[in-house]
Amino acid sequence: MTTGIAPVYWTSVGGPLGPLLLTAAPDGALTSLSVEGQKGGRTVQDGWRHDPGPFRAAGEQLAAYFAGELKEFRLELRAEGTEFRERVWAALDTVPYGATTTYGEIAARIGASRMAVRAVGGAIGANPLLILRPCHRVIGADGSLTGYAGGLERKIRLLGLEGVRC
């Protein structure tokens, strides 16, 4: 008997931020990257299939990123959210390595009003693909390091790795 629900594949890879939990769809597209203690992060569920195979490229690219050798990930990402969240996440993908942007600038990029900045912040906070989709590069309008689902200490480490002075 089949349930019609596609299996979730998962693995854990080490890194300077602690263990990273990666999940993927059956076709290998990455669906999440979570860190321990992450607000809204994923945890392994019953029925998930542990298989490091679909994650080889992700593991190699993450290792190169943490070693300072990779500035842009080339992986198939598939995060599902509302149309608004997906627009915000696509805007995150345009923020280059070593640069920062603000919530207001992200709102402007997607054509949202200044009133939507709080909703943009919520969408960024719900990003299921930490590190790969660089929400750590979003800062407050005054230059302050605002919240990060993975914790501010990790945000500071990621920005420092990319050469951003915090």
117-125 and 83-92 helices cross at what angle (nearest 10)? 80
Rounded distance between C-alpha atoms, residue 149 and residue 134, angstroms: 12
Q: Which residue has the tokens 């542990």?
A: 50
Sign of the dihedral through C-alpha 80, 81, 82, 85? negative
Task: Tell me which of 107, 135, 149, 159 is the catalytic residue.
Answer: 135
Where b means 16+ CB within 10 Å and e means fewer, 16-50 reads ebeebbbbbbeebebbbbbbeebeebbeeeeeeee
Q: Catalytic annotation on 166?
A: no
Nearest to 154 by CA among 144, 143, 23, 137: 137
Enumerate the active-site residues.
135
